[in-house]
């Protein structure tokens, strides 16, 4: 079995490395990012999305957002062209990007028309969990297709859950992203307040992390804030609250808190923070309050 991997950025590169380490044969391609390091580990160098797909039994895409996925799979020189020209049988496409659920369904419908199965399988955990293979993976699609690829996904994450039909994976990811983004914003507000009041933020963290306010988000993001380290594990530019808002509006679901944090993120993008980790939400509150949430020496 050969796996084609398209999209070798912050998340895709370590995920692809983990598949090679697990013994899988890979052909890989990224239009923008260098993947020399992956080739050095034994991956075959793809020359286009079409070329990767023509040589693969399983095709994994890990791309920034909906338009990139549509282009990579359905566009000119896309994966679909490669599959059809190669006449390969029983090919499965797994899109692990975080995109709009409606786009997952749209792409899957086109592929299904050609007899090609697709799963949407976005992930949570950021770069650290992509590196150590402990991602949470939420999957939408047919159960029989999921069963075929579950052992592959298990090399990338410790939690791999089929949550429903195609599109359900990205609906679940939107729920995840709302909770994460709002949690970071709440942590940012709380720690800006306590710092402004003169209380050591490290002490506040130690005091509350074991209580009801404690969370995985707090444990991951507060140390970054205290160190002033906003190296991206998940970039603000990729925080997909726009997809959450669009989906919620289409369904008639009010999400006022999500809309508020989306505007905060938009302000940070305008301020040049788009490539920062989403823990940089704290910078918005720091600017408003005139204080920095940092570890005291």
| Helical pair 66-74 and 101-113, crossing angle rounded to 10 deg | 10
CATH of region 171-289: 1.10.1040.10
- Do domains 2-165 and 171-289 share one topology? The answer is no
Do residues 227 and 295 touch, judged by C-beta distance below 8 A?
yes
Give residue 72's pLDDT. 98
Angstrom distance (rounded) from CA 31 to CA 5: 12
Residues noted as catalytic: 173
Place of tokens 């298990």: 154
Give residue 258's pLDDT. 97
Do residues 243 and 99 touch, judged by C-beta distance below 8 A?
yes
Angstrom distance (rounded) from CA 54 to CA 88: 8
Do residues 51 and 45 touch, judged by C-beta distance below 8 A?
no
Angstrom distance (rounded) from CA 60 to CA 39: 17
Class of domain 2-165: alpha beta
Q: What is the SS3 assignment for 96?
A: coil
Do residues 157 and 241 touch, judged by C-beta distance below 8 A?
no
Q: Which residues contact 143 (CB under 8 A, 6 or more apart)?
A: 162
pLDDT tens over the chain, length 297 residues:
999 999 999 999 999 999 999 999 999 999 999 999 999 999 999 999 999 999 999 999 999 999 999 999 999 999 999 999 999 889 999 999 999 999 999 999 999 999 999 999 999 988 889 999 999 999 999 999 999 999 999 999 999 999 999 999 999 999 999 999 999 999 999 999 999 999 999 999 999 999 999 999 999 999 999 999 999 878 888 776 889 999 999 999 999 999 999 999 999 999 999 999 999 999 999 999 999 999 886
Distances (CA, A) of 44 to 23, 35, 102, 135, 220: 14, 10, 33, 25, 35
Give residue 89's pLDDT. 87
Place of tokens 């989403």: 278
Domain boundaries, the chain: 2-165, 171-289
């Amino acid at each position: 079995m050969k796996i084609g991997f398209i999209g070798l950025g912050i998340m895709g590169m370590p995920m692809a490395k983990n598949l090679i380490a697990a013994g899988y044969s890979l052909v890989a391609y990224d239009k923008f990012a260098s993947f020399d390091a992956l080739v050095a580990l034994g991956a075959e160098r793809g020359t286009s999305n079409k070329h990767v797909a023509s040589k693969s039994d399983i095709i994994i895409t890990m791309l920034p957002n909906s338009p990139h996925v549509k282009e990579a799979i359905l566009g000119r020189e896309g994966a679909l062209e490669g599959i059809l020209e190669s006449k390969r049988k029983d090919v499965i496409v797994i899109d692990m990007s975080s995109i709009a659920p409606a786009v997952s369904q749209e792409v899957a419908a086109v592929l299904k028309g050609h007899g090609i199965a697709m799963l949407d399988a976005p992930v949570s955990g950021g770069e650290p969990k992509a590196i150590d293979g402990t991602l949470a993976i939420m999957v939408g699609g047919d159960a029989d297709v999921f069963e075929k690829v579950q052992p592959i996904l298990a090399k990338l994450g410790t939690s791999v859950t089929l949550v429903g039909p195609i599109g359900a994976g990205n609906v679940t990811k939107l729920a995840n992203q709302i909770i994460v983004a709002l949690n970071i914003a709440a942590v940012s507000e709380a720690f800006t307040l306590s710092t402004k009041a003169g209380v050591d933020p490290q002490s506040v963290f130690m005091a509350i992390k074991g209580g009801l306010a404690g969370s995985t988000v707090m444990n991951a993001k507060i140390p970054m804030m205290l160190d002033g380290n906003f190296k991206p594990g998940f970039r603000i530019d990729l925080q997909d609250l726009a997809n959450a808002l669009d989906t919620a509006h289409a369904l008639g679901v009010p999400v006022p808190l999500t809309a508020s944090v989306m505007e905060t993120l938009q302000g940070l993008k305008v301020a040049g923070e788009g490539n920062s980790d989403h823990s940089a939400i704290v910078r918005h509150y720091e600017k408003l309050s005139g204080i920095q949430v940092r570890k005291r020496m």
